[in-house]
Amino acid sequence: MSSTVLLESHLKTLKLPSFLKEYPQAARQCAEKDEAYEEFLLRLAEREVTTREANAVVRRTRQAGFPAEKDLTSFDFTAVPKLNKKRILQLARCEFVEKRENIVLLGPPGVGKTHLAVALGREACRRSRRVKFFTAAGLATRYAEARDQRELLRLERHIANRHLIVVDELGYVPLGQGGAENLFNFFSACYERTSLIVTTNLPFSEWPQVFGNERLTGALLDRLTHRVHIIEIQAESWRLKDGLKRQKGGDAGKR
Ligand code: ADP
Ligand code: MG
């Protein structure tokens, strides 16, 4: 067998696809420039590492299950002048995940809460964190659907295995007794172990109404807000503004 065939077979066995793809060209370049053998190896190793990292980010982002591709570069901070941009960019460095801290994004519908939560979540994926996105209703349903102990354990293990969990739209729909208890168990399980980003349209004082139980809500808020960054967003609804702009531009209803 020729040495090329052997080499390529070994590279496949070792799962080094970038090495395999790039080595002929790298070998040619290094020969032309009369570079050291180490230089050749380094170039290929670097390529392998970079590709692997990029693939891992794509995989983590897919596994997180975000509802849309939103990021910080597409967020217009000038539309929300009261929002502290520096603070958001600081949070995007994800030290809060390291410190097991939480974020609560609070504000009326349409002001970009979900956009920011997804953007911060994707940033965490980029920084090697395992992330999962749920809506509050979806999360309550997942618990309710875990019929037996085994399924529940699997769900809890999945949750415990994340560094960061986004719970979107807490408070939009009343949860009912079972749903509230499930979410309470969820918040307890995450306490000081998994960071949370919660988005909500309800000030904390109104949470007992959603959970239907003053004592439960108190205990839940206690855990959630122990170490928390509260970000209040006051602005006009972007959806509304965007809609009006489109109408003025004469292309209303074209989407
Ligand atoms: P909320 O979760 O607060 O109800 P969303 O995050 O769903 O609001 O925002 C509604 C829509 O408007 C989304 O498509 C979002 O990307 C967009 N949006 C909201 N605020 C901004 C902003 N400041 N810059 C860019 N897009 C925004
Ligand atoms: Mg939202």
Residue pLDDT, tens place only, 177-200: 788 888 888 999 999 899 999 999
Tell me the C-alpha distance between 246 and 22, whole Å.
48
Nearest-CA residue for atom 6 of ligand 1: 112
Q: Tally the C-alpha atoms within 13 A of residue 228's C-alpha that lie toward its C-beta.
A: 19
Q: Which atom of ligand 1 is nearest to the CA of 111?
A: 3
Distance CA 16, CA 8 (A): 10
Look at residue 59 in the predicted model and tell me its pLDDT: 97
For the chain, give the mean pLDDT: 91
Task: Say what angle helices 37-64 and 113-126 make with each other, to 10 degrees.
Answer: 150
What domains are there in the chain, each with its CATH number?
A: 3-63 (no CATH), 65-241 (3.40.50.300)
Atom of ligand 1 nearest to the CA of 169: 2
Q: Which atom of ligand 1 is nearest to the CA of 233?
A: 3
Alpha carbons 232 and 83: distance in angstroms, whole number: 8
How many beta carbons lie within 10 A of that of residue 138, not counting itself? 14
Q: Is the pLDDT of residue 92 over 80?
A: yes
For the Cβ of 115 lying below 6 angstroms from any atom of ligand 1, the answer is yes
The better pLDDT of the pair 105, 145 is held by 105
- As a whole number of angstroms, the distance between CA 186 and CA 173 comes to 17
pTM of the predicted structure, to 2 decimals: 0.87
Whether 159 and 189 have beta carbons less than 8 Å apart is answered as: yes
> How are strands ordered across the β-sheet holding 228-232?
131-135, 164-170, 195-200, 102-106, 228-232
CA distance 120 to 97: 11
d(CA 113, CA 118) in angstroms, rounded, equals: 9
Q: Is 85 in the pocket of ligand 1 (CB under 6 A)?
A: no
Torsion angles phi and psi, residue 252, rounded to 5:
-60, 140
